[in-house]
Amino acid sequence: MSKTAVLLIDCPDRKGLVAAIANFLVQQYDANILNADQHQDVELGLFFMRIEFATDHAPCDEAHFSAAFSPLAQQFKMNWRLTFATPPQNVAIFVSHYLHCLADLLHRHQTGELSCNLSLIVSNHDAAKPLADFYKIPFHYLSVTAANKAEVEQRQMDLLDEHSIDLVILARYMQVLSPQFVRAYPQRIINVHHSFLPAFTGARPYHAAFARGVKLIGATSHYVTEVLDEGPIIEQDVTRVSQNDQLPDLIQKGRDLERLVLSRAVRWHLSDRILSYANKTVIFA
């Protein structure tokens, strides 16, 4: 039975890398290369590659591949990751009281655009429960206060462990995760926010931007790190505003952008199209 896998590689750039990788896949697994994309960082002298391939070779699993590929990886000083098309990743969505990103993700998941198991929704408000019930996704309401924040976060992490969660999506979750939480899911927590930072901070950035008369608004999706809102950027988008746009127009345009950049980031992550390095990302076609 044919297997489909994705191989992600980063290493020092040098001649012969593409040929060596392709020859290995063909010689070891009689692989049919379905898609290949590469990138060079000339300044840092680094090479990045994503290869999607299919094989009928029965021993092609993670353990067999690791044993066979390790000599080549050591020769070229490669960091690498192999993932198979199945099983799909288990995903959890965290949300507060802004529901536009959650609603968008749920719809995209229902229509098959996001290939994953949407395992649970976690919220510090109960506003999202009707949406969760409509899409039949388990919903966990855990109120967060200054006094119980550590206790609630531990309960959240227990839930993620129980469901073997691979990816956490912060769909406008208005709480700061602890360093312990972030370290438990490196490069596996995706957040979205407006792109007014650092100019307009606080709880009402669209109001502040409107008062300032901004001409461009945008949104950013990124991996979460221990440094708040400074993780590797995955996707950004912008749109123009004019004097004819009132505050509700700014908010609506901003939320539309947040939906787009978050869904793109999630889709790319689920299809193994992202490599992160030096606090930035390579997005493969």
> Each residue of 119-150: pLDDT tens digit?
999 999 999 999 999 999 999 999 999 999 99
Give residue-wise pLDDT tens across range 230-263: 899 999 999 998 989 999 998 999 999 999 999 9
Active site residue 229: yes
Residue 282 near residue 40 (C-beta atoms within 8 A) = no
Q: Indicate whether 197 pLDDT > 60.
A: no
Q: Cis peptide before 138, with omega less than 30 degrees from 0?
A: no
Residue 136 near residue 149 (C-beta atoms within 8 A) = no
Of 44-48, 80-84, 202-206, 274-278, the range with the lowest mean pLDDT is 202-206
Select which of 13, 37, 41, 229 is catalytic. Answer: 229
pLDDT in the model for residue 231:
94
- Kindly indicate the confidence band of residue 196, based on its pLDDT and cuts at 50, 70 and 90: low
As a whole-number percent, the residues of the chain with pLDDT over 70 amount to 97
pLDDT in the model for residue 198:
52
Of 48-57, 92-101, 187-196, the range with the lowest mean pLDDT is 187-196
Q: What's the CA gap between 272 and 126, in Å, rounded?
A: 33
Amino acid type, 155: R
pLDDT in the model for residue 100:
97
Q: Which long-range contacts (CB under 8 A, 24 or more apart) does 186-189 make?
A: 187/223, 187/232, 187/276, 188/223, 189/223, 189/224
Give residue-wise pLDDT tens across range 89-122: 999 999 999 999 999 999 999 999 999 999 999 9
Residue 259 near residue 99 (C-beta atoms within 8 A) = no
pLDDT in the model for residue 81:
96
